Structure 1
């Protein structure tokens, strides 16, 4: 599919170097993609053996040491220093790893379960109430060293805050009540995905049972990855950096609730969000963004007609932002991500 887009761009006169720069690949990569699967690999590799190559006897000794009763449950990182402590040098740590890999023995050692990679959760929202993100953040309370806890749910597509609560403790029960209330106020949407990190309240039995009863699919960040729940984290940053955010601790749960209520009203109805073409979350959530952005486009067209000499290129892009993906692959350039979305 990517090659089809490349060919289409070439037919329109776009240079290959420009296409490769947008895709983040080298021209040689495009040439390699065009080769048929049956093409012969004509790379011949080195013609001479390295002078410092391990002999067959040395390779067998490395395998014998690594598989000995003393070292069979140890990695090369442990084997090499322990040999050095005894005044022995068999090979470097890298050589141990290379020989074990070539012998098919570079596998997990010991009785512990081998680590398994966890794929990053990816969900695409093409409209409101398809993917929500939620999290809990600390608020300073009336007692020094104690905190209040703000539970906050945001719609990933529109960035609209669809529910919040303030409590004096973290609890799966409080989270369950909030999610149920937010789900009902949103009209009981079907097929909803609720994303969060791996905190205790997020994985509590009470909340998971509630999600199952509501038909909501839970989604979780990878362990120890702080940016997998970026939508909620970014919202907390906006909240705590508001000029009106109190510098002193909140006097009570009610005091914090009142302030957050005012913030939610401002955020949903007045805040122009940079990720959605600077419309408010409410405008995007309730399908008002297309008309609003069309009016902005007409304003810019009239301004350009009055002073065309001031516009060397097209006017500002006021088209709607489009679908929002939660957790895109970090290894793909934006251009490749767009191609995957279209194709």
Structure 2
């Protein structure tokens, strides 16, 4: 259930898309399909840059005059704020004295702005004045309690879009901007870190299978397309290698394997687990990169024995397996980057918990209309 909201693209996105097109060996149609946009739109962006240069895309469509007007308003606001701060210099330090300063200036400046400039909570100021909290302030307090609970529940990984979806799922009706404001005012934020590097085992391998998936990542039923990939997790004992199999329909991890070394058994374990847990359908497609572990005879025989057709990404093209890459990005950014594993066993336990409990069963996925993979699959049962 995807939203029908029209996508908007900023200047950086358009420039990056055209740069990708100019540097790629793919056709315009292939690049646009990979980006999920129409070929006519990408062609129009390219032509605009060729005719007028990068300045053909303004940051937000403002004219020069509207930018001048914005700067004038901003300058006026800054002068007013400076004037207020000068008037408060005569008041002694302390919260109570700051409240008194706000009372004195109440007719000249907005209360919310004075509270912000003095580092005070507006609700605390109103309590000091003896004013009852407004209905919206009371609702904000209840939402804040729910947001803090979800923040713990989601292991500090939810930004405002997923937080809003989880709140709706728990019966709280609120908009994304309101959720973002409450999170911002209370320093509640999702974990963030740098991107990670993928893993490919080199070596002599068989000729790769064709790219049958061809970036068609939207699938209408489970067990039609599985995607696989490998990554590594650092521990004090050395790397722990992880192989996964995801069902493209629900993004659910249907099989995984872990090992202290890269071997055919690692990827074989993940596939065999998927085969044991799922009912395969005729025409099931398995997609991976060209790693030697996926092209070796052992793995290829395992696919053939179960009537699974093989598809592989083009050499060096990570976008062909973008869903698996994205999964590992979430794993690294939400778990691995914030842990220091003393042993492989400790890492394996944490990975199992994150995959089976959190990712499959709890974590809301933007591609699935902010449902978890398990909940998304329940709709078709």
Q: TM-score, normalised by structure 2?
A: 0.43
Q: TM-score, normalised by structure 1?
A: 0.47
Structure with the greater alpha carbon radius of gyration: 1
Higher relative contact order, chain-length normalized (CA < 8 Å, sep 6+): 1
